[in-house]
Amino acid sequence: MTTARHVTLIGAPTDIGAGARGASMGPEALRVAGLAEALRAHGVDVLDRGNLAGPSNPWLPPTDGYRHLDEVTAWNRSVHDAVHAALGDGRMPILLGGDHCLGLGSISAVARHCRETGKKLRVLWLDAHADFNTSKLTPSGNIHGMPVACLCGHGPQQLIEIGGHIPAIDPKWIRQIGIRSVDEGEKRFVHEVGLEVFDMRYIDEMGMRHTMELALATMDANTHLHVSFDVDFLDPDIAPGVGTTIPGGPTYREAQLCMEMIADTGRMASLDVMELNPALDVRNKTALVAVDLIESLFGKSTLMRK
């Protein structure tokens, strides 16, 4: 029951895959909100290796269904290498996004590490969106709506090959939670592939506790748990600082329970914190909520727990 006590913070300051500018400022907002200090207060050894570098955002319309494909590829390669290196050093990488297209680089690196070390992988995708678009299905061409499809081998060659294995992961390893916005064609594709999605209706009907029990079931001592936390997972009332707010997300209490139940497993071994957009935030409130929830992922609780 030990979540890693050695963490590496990796900043990826880009909004290259997003439909709104500003997530490029996310890493610094999380630092300003006191992420490293908060983790250290829980006894975690934190190494902030600063920000990765990559191409600037040319803000162009789509070409063949993709916006900024080459720049997205460059950023994801860089994220992949940094995340893979941190895991190789025996540390838990926390990727500070940046938009969610970078989940591809991060999770393909985690999957590579799991192949090399003989671990099983479970991916929790906390998000308002399924991020399962392809160039044929996408209405916008924004690649932050495509990383899960790419991880499952559906996407342009230069993206799907980043982790050195196609597909990088099996759809069966994924549990999506909090979903409430899926495009029409994307909806059919999610169904076809058989993604396990706990959408907001499921959470409304069954509650967050039951949802998380199922999402975290059948892991064992050899499972690497990766959490990809898109801040737009949260209800916009508590988290306005994202590019794509969708009403009707988990409340503060539901989100806390979600994070605490993940912490209780003791299996979280890598984390992405994505899509925080300080340009749309109110006095860094969303970054502060994100830090608060990350603390819960690291075992902060109201009382001593058995």
Residues that bind Mn ion (CB under 5 A): 100, 127, 131, 230
Active site residue 232: yes
User: Minimal distance in Å, beta carbon 266 to Mn ion?
Assistant: 26
Q: Which is nearer to Mn ion, 35 or 276 (CB)?
A: 276
183 annotated among ligand-binding-site residues:
no
Concerning whether 264 is annotated as a catalytic residue, the answer is no
Least distance between Mn ion and beta carbon 299 (Å): 25
Residue 271: strand pairing partners = 94, 227
Q: Is 165 a catalytic residue?
A: no
Would you say 68 is a known binding-site residue? no
Is 99 catalytic? The answer is no
Whether 275 is catalytic = yes
Of 7, 138, 164, nearest to 81 by C-alpha is 164
Question: Which C-beta is closer to Mn ion: that of 162 or that of 274?
Answer: 274
Q: Is 100 annotated as a binding residue?
A: yes
Tell me if residue 161 falls in helix, strand or coil.
coil
Q: What is the closest distance, in whole angstroms, from the C-beta atom of residue 226 to Mn ion in the complex?
A: 14
**Which CB atom, from 44 or from 293, has the smaller least distance to Mn ion?**
293
Residue 252, strand partner residues: none
Q: 144 catalytic, yes or no?
A: yes
| Catalytic residue selected from 71, 127, 235, 295 | 127
Residue nearer to Mn ion on the CB measure, 34 or 185: 185
Which residue in the list 144, 154, 224, 226 is annotated as catalytic?
Answer: 144
Among residues 80, 84, 100, 226, the one annotated as catalytic is 100
Nearest distance from C-beta of residue 37 to Mn ion, angstroms: 27
**Cα 122 from Cα 86, distance rounded (Å):** 19
Instruction: Return the structure tokens found at 79.
Output: 């994220």
CA dist., res. 276 & res. 192, Å (int): 31
User: Which of 71, 186, 232, 272 is an active site residue?
Assistant: 232
- Helix pair angle (252-265, 200-215), 10° resolution: 20
Instruction: Count Cα atoms within 13 angstroms, Cβ side, for 47.
Output: 14
Active-site residue among 80, 129, 154, 224? Answer: 129
- Whose structure tokens read 């991880």? 151
| Euclidean distance between the first and the last CA atom of the chain, given in angstroms as a whole number | 12
**224 annotated to a ligand binding site:** no
Strand 174-179: give its sheet, edge to edge. Answer: 45-51, 6-12, 92-97, 268-274, 223-230, 120-126, 174-179, 196-199
Binding site, annotated residues: 100, 127, 129, 131, 230, 232
The catalytic site residues sit at 100, 127, 129, 131, 144, 230, 232, 275
Q: Which residues are annotated as a binding site for Mn(2+)?
A: 100, 127, 129, 131, 230, 232
